[in-house]
Amino acid sequence: MELRPLGATGLRVSPLGLGTVKFGRNQGLKYPQPFTLPTDREALALLDLAWDLGVNLLDTAPAYGESEERLGRLLRQSRRDWIIVTKVGEEFHDGDSRFDFSAAATRASVERSLRRLGIETLDAVLVHSSGDDQAILEQEAVLPTLRDLQRAGLIRTVGISTKTVAGGLQAVECCDLVMATYNLRQREELPVIRAAYAAGKGVLIKKGLLSGHLDVAKSDPVQAALQLIYAEPGVSSVVIGTLNLTHLQANAAAVEWAVANPLRIPLA
Ligand SMILES: NC(=O)c1ccc[n+]([C@@H]2O[C@H](COP(=O)([O-])OP(=O)(O)OC[C@H]3O[C@@H](n4cnc5c(N)ncnc54)[C@H](OP(=O)(O)O)[C@@H]3O)[C@@H](O)[C@H]2O)c1
């Protein structure tokens, strides 16, 4: 899989990233089916296959239950040059999310992510938005604190996983990268992707496969979803979560096909 620039950050990422919510948390999610958490052996098999397929990007978060801790434990077993994206601001305990965008919580979260993942620098830290993207970016201490930690060498790049178009557009102005939702049913954030591309900012796509709510009436819903995403040259990587080795393999093949066969959507 040919690596792509993550905007102007200097990092190069695979066009498919592996999302790891399902590695660590199985409550309070909107997937079509309930699931049990994978064993370490199963999670390792997914990581090994992802790496062999050319995936170099892993997406995790403190709000994904055991995900960060588990990745740290498993990745210590084989030294590979993964690009790891994690987040700050959201915690998930006893079935509930809590948000804290203060300086103290941000620092403590970054230090804990470094410890859990067993690394000295985090490649990318995204603010895990509660929904009020603009207020978080303008009024909370989280972004300036992440910039301080970046200057101190603990973080390479800083961004936000947004929930609004206005927040996404603002993030393009003040962050290195943005994580946006874009799929066959949710295309509102397209202007964010295009603005980020124009500004040389990295773009990660979440929920590209509609969190698994695919239209099975379509002959190849995965291919259709990825072709839409890779019509946008500004997309650095689509982060797809899976616990299924066959799905992972199919997603890698579909991403490679979509990158090579982009839909022609006129730039507005
Ligand atoms: N920052 C945020 O606010 C935020 C929010 C949501 C997600 N994310 C990140 O983005 C990642 C992806 O988001 P997401 O999990 O909501 O959505 P997604 O990637 O659109 O969908 C994942 C779901 O699709 C299924 N799937 C994957 N490949 C498939 C295939 N080839 N055929 C059929 N089904 C397939 C998976 O189930 P199987 O296990 O059965 O394959 C999984 O339940 C997450 O893991 C997380 O890292 C971030």
Compute CA distances 167 → 132, 159, 180, whole Å. 8, 11, 10
Task: For the chain, list the domains and their CATH numbers.
Answer: 4-260 (3.20.20.100)
The percent of residues above 70 in pLDDT, for the chain, comes to 99
Cα→Cα distances 258→10, 153, 188, 255, Å:
24, 36, 21, 5
- Among 196, 85, 202, 89, residue whose Cα is nearest residue 136: 89
- Helices in 162-263 by DSSP H: which ranges? 165-174, 190-199, 221-229, 245-260
Measured CA distances, 25 to 70, 112, 215, 216 (Å): 11, 18, 25, 26
Cα distance between residue 98 and residue 184, in whole Å: 30
Ligand 1, residues at Cβ distance < 6 Å:
19-22, 31, 59, 128, 161, 179, 206-212, 214, 222, 239-244, 247, 250-251
Q: What is the pLDDT of residues 101-153, one digit of tens each?
A: 999 999 999 999 999 999 999 999 999 999 999 999 999 999 999 999 999 99
Question: In this structure, which residue's CA is closest to atom 5 in ligand 1?
Answer: 206
Specify which residues 181 forms β-bridges with.
206
Task: Render pLDDT for 167-206 as a digit per residue (tens, 0 to 9).
Answer: 999 999 999 999 999 999 999 999 999 999 999 999 999 9
pTM of the model: 0.96
